[in-house]
Chains A and B, each alone.
Chain A
Amino acid sequence: MIHRHDVIIVGAGLAGSRAAVEIGQTANVAVLSKVYPSRSHSGAAQGGVAASLANESKTDRWEYHMYDTVKGSDYLGDQDAIELMVREAPETVIEMEHWGCPFSRTPEGLIAQRKFGGHTLDYGKEAALRSCYSYDYTGHVLLHTLHEQCLKHGVHFYSEFQVLSLIFRDNRAIGVVAWDIVNGGLHTFYGRAVMFGTGGYGRAFKITSNAHANTGDGLSQVIRAGLPVQDMEFVQFHPTGLWKSGILVTEGARGEGGYLLNGEKRRFMEDYAPTLMELAPRDVVARSMQTEIDEGRGIDGKNYVFIDVSHLGEAKLKERLPQITELAMNFAGVDPVKEPIPIQPTAHYSMGGIPANANCRVTYDAKRSETVGFYAGGECSCISVHGANRLGTNSLLEALLFGRRAGKQIVEDLSHLEFPELPADYEDAATEEVERTMAKDGEEKAATLRAELQETMMMDCGVFRSRGQLEKQRDKVEELEERYKNIRVEDKGTRFNTDMLEAIELGHLIEFSGAIVEGALQREESRGGHARKDFPKRDDVKFLKHTLAWREPNGKWKLTFEKDVVLKGITHPGFEPKERVY
């Protein structure tokens, strides 16, 4: 079946929904989501959304937010896009409040704000209260508010439609082919503009805070369309994942005063970040934790440390951190009012993604040449406002703000974008993938391959990396890709066939993991979330560049380090790269 809409958006998280609200008021927009929209993973974000409202830290201003974001990015973030983001942050958050988002409040009735890692006043002098929050349900309330705005504006949702391929010809996005999960069968959606808000790729790792759905489908669909992906080696490991499951304990727990303890019951962050301590950025804290664990100072010598919030008291935990109190009880069997919570670094956020500019137009080379009719926003995109490491609360901001920018840009571009012609072979790639997957009757189990991928990515492409590990992991990914041909899909029906869809998702995981590993191998330096034991220093001479990775027809990866980082803001002179000390 063929569906025609002015605009096709893939993904109903904050970026996709925010764009849809913008577009839905003047044009016909369809949003495709493989889960019901309110179940998108944006809803799992807990601690807050950054904006220098100065409600609590009265001297806060966008220049400080810009400095923190640039420094947090280890200078790999593009400063023009960062300036746009921090300047438009207040109006973006206020707009959500006007649309009814329930925020926690200050005694004066303003949006309440709390501390978060790496956010400071006066260029690093002291921690800033900049994170606008709603208990520790911030992502949840933003997502629901936006979804409700979409309902108000008559946005057309195709829920439980899983996109299989991007139709992209002659530098123009035409549409997507999707599988109707409930009834089975292919549906083609085409329009004058296509936007991806398909989320991150944390599911490539064993310990992750990400949902089962976060299989980075959009990334490999872009790769398969012959387009590059950018900075894929930069994966954020969040310091406070619950031990074993990786489920997120918000950084807000440290923002509210929680601290980290090693096996010696010592606040080890004083050895690594004496000024900001536990509120140093995530890459710094995750590496510090991993070092403690690797050197035998985990709890009882095991692979975890503690976060202790018990001194905050039951009332404050209930007021500020109700969700993590419940999570600790349900998933770690620990009552945080009484005892510390066992934690380990967890794959959390994908700094890399689909290269796009600040207007969310997808670009395809080192000169930032634009594709036509193709847009990306949120975690699947690499604009790049986070560079090598994202600061907490900048992701909800990014998703909202660039969803908004994408929406406005698309509305503007619709004035000259005509409906493209569907090429004759528009459905071939998706048909072939479904037929090939359904026919799979081999010896291997998809789940076994997925577990092997996730375990080895965690072990050899995790918080710390080295040439030996990465070469081994490159071989492993190649091996898994070969074995993937020999898996077995047991469910041969068309109706709600999640067996087939999980197999297809595994294909995505393997595909883009190749780009993560290759980037990590070729980037011989340590920067932000990418830490090489054999190259422990940042190398601005060689690597103050964005990585672009293409997959060639022979399956090999082609990488370039030619795309310059933008070191100046639009109006701001920019921040020169310096050593990063907290």
Chain B
Amino acid sequence: MSQRTFKIFRYNPETDKKPSYKTYTIEVEPSWTILDALNEIKWYHDGSLTYRRSCRHGICGSCAMQINGLNDLSCELQISNYPKDPIVIDPLPGFEIYKDLAVNMEPFYAALKRVKPWLINDNPPPGSERLQSPEEFKLMGDSIACILCAACTSSCPSFWTDEDYLGPAALLKAFRYTFDTRDEGFEDRLEALDNKHGLWRCHKITNCFTACPKNLNPTEAISKLQRKVVSEKW
């Protein structure tokens, strides 16, 4: 056990005039993650501290937040990765604050829906599975592993300045279906993609790539989509 200090963003719009930071010093175990520390604070020191969490092993995407200025999943990061006190924890930037570290994710999910995130193929399916070779399967890359934690979209300056921008997560989903050899919905998705709030808002800042806790590369996916749009149109 050792003592560590956490400086955590606090804001309840119902009762607080403005946000503030609250500092907690607690005993932590060597193997603990940032989420373990938040749980310790909430469960034994301050029940009002509010954040989302569920699976605590990096697959549900609930607990994305900003840790020492970088978006990441609090459940996946060991406290020992951050040798200096205090460890500063903020909510994901770019979203309305519901309370403390919990933000309004509705715009994020609304953007996702705009890219029609489902397989589009009107041909009647065969009696068994549609065939897809291992090489074709790999055209989707790692995009199928996206957990929709919003770490990428929330790290994107283009998203901060354009609330209508689809953002890297929704574009990665568009990539996932566009590069699925079973999908025929390229034209259907063009309206959402091919405009200034879509693909062309991406300025290759690559924050999304750095922020992704699953080591996915939305920037690269967006570039591939852009090339496809250009080559199909002209």
List A residues at the B interface (Cβ < 8 Å). Answer: 35-36, 38-41, 43-44, 53, 94, 97-100, 102-111, 134-135, 137, 140-141, 144, 148-149, 151-152, 182, 211-213, 244-245, 247-248, 322-323, 326-327, 330-331, 333, 445-448, 488-491, 493-499
Given A41-B54, A100-B118, A211-B60, A110-B145 contact (CB < 8 Å) = no
Asked if residues B119 and A496 are in contact (CB atoms below 8 Å), the reply is: no
Partner of B44, one of A244, A322, A331, A447: A447
B12 within 8 A of A: yes
B177: chain A residues within 8 A (beta carbon) = 100
Looking at A105, A151, A493, the one whose CB has the most chain B CB atoms below 10 A away is A105
Q: How far is the CA of A43 from the CA of B57 in the complex (A)?
A: 11
List B residues at the A interface (Cβ < 8 Å). Answer: 12-15, 31, 33, 42-44, 46-48, 50-62, 76-78, 98-100, 102, 104-105, 109, 113, 116-119, 125, 128-134, 136-137, 140, 144-145, 147-148, 176-177, 180, 182-183
Q: How far is the CA of A26 from the CA of B56 in the complex (A)?
A: 37
Known A36-B148, A102-B180, A326-B58; 10 more pairs at CB < 8 Å: A40-B60, A41-B60, A97-B129, A107-B134, A144-B144, A211-B60, A212-B56, A245-B57, A333-B78, A499-B42
A104: chain B residues within 8 A (beta carbon) = 134, 137
Given A100-B183, A151-B117, A109-B53 contact (CB < 8 Å) = no
Q: How far is the CA of A96 from the CA of B54 in the complex (A)?
A: 25
Given A38-B148, A94-B128, A43-B60 contact (CB < 8 Å) = yes
A247, closest chain B residue (CB):
B57
Q: How far is the CA of A100 from the CA of B51 in the complex (A)?
A: 33
Given A44-B57, A326-B58, A490-B15 contact (CB < 8 Å) = no
Asked if residues B145 and A493 are in contact (CB atoms below 8 Å), the reply is: no
Q: How far in angstroms is the closest Cβ of chain A from B180? A: 7
Partner of A493, one of B12, B137, B140, B144: B12
Given A100-B118, A493-B48, A327-B58 contact (CB < 8 Å) = yes
Asked if residues A35 and B62 are in contact (CB atoms below 8 Å), the reply is: yes
A209, closest chain B residue (CB):
B57
A446: chain B residues within 8 A (beta carbon) = 43
B113: chain A residues within 8 A (beta carbon) = 151
Q: How far in angstroms is the closest Cβ of chain B from A512? A: 19
Given A94-B128, A211-B60, A491-B48, A330-B76 contact (CB < 8 Å) = yes
A53: chain B residues within 8 A (beta carbon) = 128
Q: How far is the CA of A447 from the CA of B36 in the complex (A)?
A: 13
| A-B contact list, 19 entries, CB within 8 Å | A35-B52, A36-B105, A39-B54, A39-B61, A44-B57, A100-B182, A102-B180, A110-B128, A140-B147, A141-B144, A330-B76, A330-B78, A331-B57, A490-B48, A491-B47, A495-B13, A495-B99, A496-B50, A499-B48
Asked if residues B50 and A105 are in contact (CB atoms below 8 Å), the reply is: no
B100, closest chain A residue (CB):
A496
Q: How far is the CA of A110 from the CA of B137 in the complex (A)?
A: 11
Q: How far is the CA of A490 from the CA of B41 in the complex (A)?
A: 13
Question: Which label, helix, strand, loop or mixed, suits the secondary structure of the B interface?
Answer: loop
Q: How far in angstroms is the closest Cβ of chain B from A89? A: 13
Asked if residues A102 and B137 are in contact (CB atoms below 8 Å), the reply is: yes
Asked if residues A152 and B118 are in contact (CB atoms below 8 Å), the reply is: yes
A213: chain B residues within 8 A (beta carbon) = 54
B59: chain A residues within 8 A (beta carbon) = 43-44, 137, 140, 323
A248: chain B residues within 8 A (beta carbon) = 57
Asked if residues B55 and A41 are in contact (CB atoms below 8 Å), the reply is: yes
B131: chain A residues within 8 A (beta carbon) = 108-110
Asked if residues B14 and A494 are in contact (CB atoms below 8 Å), the reply is: yes
Q: How far in angstroms is the closest Cβ of chain B from A228? A: 29
A331: chain B residues within 8 A (beta carbon) = 33, 57
A140, closest chain B residue (CB):
B59
B133: chain A residues within 8 A (beta carbon) = 105, 107, 109
Q: How far is the CA of A39 from the CA of B52 in the complex (A)?
A: 11
Q: How far is the CA of A66 from the CA of B49 in the complex (A)?
A: 49
A43: chain B residues within 8 A (beta carbon) = 55, 59-60, 147
Q: How far is the CA of A144 from the CA of B43 in the complex (A)?
A: 31
Q: How far in angstroms is the closest Cβ of chain B from A208? A: 10
A152: chain B residues within 8 A (beta carbon) = 116, 118
Asked if residues A110 and B129 are in contact (CB atoms below 8 Å), the reply is: yes
Asked if residues B117 and A148 are in contact (CB atoms below 8 Å), the reply is: yes
Partner of A35, one of B14, B60, B136: B60
Asked if residues B119 and A447 are in contact (CB atoms below 8 Å), the reply is: no
A36: chain B residues within 8 A (beta carbon) = 62, 105, 109, 148
Q: How far in angstroms is the closest Cβ of chain B from A437? A: 12
Q: How far is the CA of A109 from the CA of B128 in the complex (A)?
A: 11
Asked if residues A211 and B56 are in contact (CB atoms below 8 Å), the reply is: yes
Given A41-B60, A98-B130, A35-B98 contact (CB < 8 Å) = no
